[in-house]
């Protein structure tokens, strides 16, 4: 498993233009956000490097639910928050979520947290603990490719995740 993160401002004009040129025409028409272009660029370069393929050989497709994939022996996941983009690549299904840490209204916990999750909130800074729960669940649903369906249907403590704290972000990876 490998993961990477970059700020959108680090995407060079050359990388941006090359990525747009390599995109499927229908995707190129929909993708105007720099974070989306950077995410696709990061995935394509990581897959090309790992598989020793030219960038032109990497085509990203989407499931009916919108999960990006490639018809290759590797899985990947993309996430962005604020100016940050994170990508994970692995031999098995993987989900990644990145969130910029910021103050939130903790009343949201009633909508997304199970009873076990609420106990986790009490083990430290509730704001940070909330983001651990949120990113774990989002990474889990990204791995499954279902979209976020039932946030209270799974508890944080039942998920196998790794958290990384980088600058003002939390990056969470979920693998089977």
pLDDT (tens digit per residue) in 43-65: 999 999 999 999 999 999 999 98
What gap in Å lies between CA 2 and CA 49, rounded to an integer?
12
Res. 32: pLDDT tops 80 = no
The share of the chain scoring above pLDDT 90, in percent, equals 86
Check if the beta carbon of residue 127 is closer than 8 Å to that of residue 134.
no
Asked if residue 143 is part of any domain, the answer here is: yes
On whether both 72 and 121 belong to a single domain, the answer is no
Q: Give the domain range for residue 33.
A: 2-76
On whether both 10 and 48 belong to a single domain, the answer is yes
End-to-end CA gap in the chain: 12
Task: Give the confidence band of 25 by pLDDT, cuts at 50, 70, 90.
Answer: confident
Given 76, 105, 124, the domain boundary residue is 76
**48 or 66, higher pLDDT:** 48
């Amino acid at each position: 498993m490998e993961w990477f993160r970059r700020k959108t401002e680090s995407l060079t004009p050359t990388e941006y233009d090359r990525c747009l040129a390599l995109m499927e025409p229908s995707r190129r028409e929909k993708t105007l956000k720099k974070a989306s272009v950077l995410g696709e660029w990061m995935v394509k370069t990581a897959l090309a490097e790992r598989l020793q393929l030219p960038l032109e050989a990497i085509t990203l497709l989407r499931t009916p639910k919108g999960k990006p994939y490639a018809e290759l022996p590797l899985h990947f996941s993309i996430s962005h928050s604020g100016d940050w983009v994170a990508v994970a690549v692995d031999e098995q299904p993987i989900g990644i979520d990145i969130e910029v840490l910021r103050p939130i209204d903790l009343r949201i916990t009633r909508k997304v947290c199970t009873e076990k999750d609420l106990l986790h909130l009490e083990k430290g800074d509730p704001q940070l603990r909330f983001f651990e729960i949120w990113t774990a669940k989002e990474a889990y649903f990204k791995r499954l490719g279902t979209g976020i369906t039932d946030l209270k249907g799974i508890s944080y403590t039942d998920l196998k995740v790794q958290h990384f704290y980088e600058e003002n972000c939390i990056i969470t990876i979920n693998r089977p």
